[in-house]
Amino acid sequence: MHATDLPQCGMPKTNELMRAELAELFQRYDADGNGRIDMEEFERLLRRLGEDRGQANRAVQFAQIDADGDGGIDFDEFVAWWLRA
């Protein structure tokens, strides 16, 4: 029996399972499907999470997550942010 064969109830998730779940979440909020979450999509995600910190704070947070400064949060940046949160 492998660890992945065991029920996930109360057990830490494997990296593979967590990445799959995060990929699904990322795709849900990447509304235009371009592989990046833009500011508008990020704002929707924060509202869904119940985190409405105001426009200026959202812009700062977005810039911190967008590590390469290209104006969008790619999947790797999203995963790094999610795991820090």
Can you list the domains of the chain with their CATH numbers? 14-84 (1.10.238.10)
Q: What is the DSSP letter of 4?
A: G
Q: What whole-number distance in Å separates Cα of residue 50 and Cα of residue 57?
A: 14
b/e for 4-30, b at 16 or more Cβ within 10 A?
eeeeeeeeeeeeeeeeeeeeeebeebb
pLDDT in tens, 42-75: 999 999 988 877 888 999 999 999 999 999 999 9
Three-class HEC string of 14-68? CHHHHHHHHHHHHHHHCCCCCCEECHHHHHHHHHHCCCCCCHHHHHHHHHHHCCC
76 vs 16, residue with greater confidence = 76
Q: Which whole number is the average pLDDT over 27-55?
A: 93
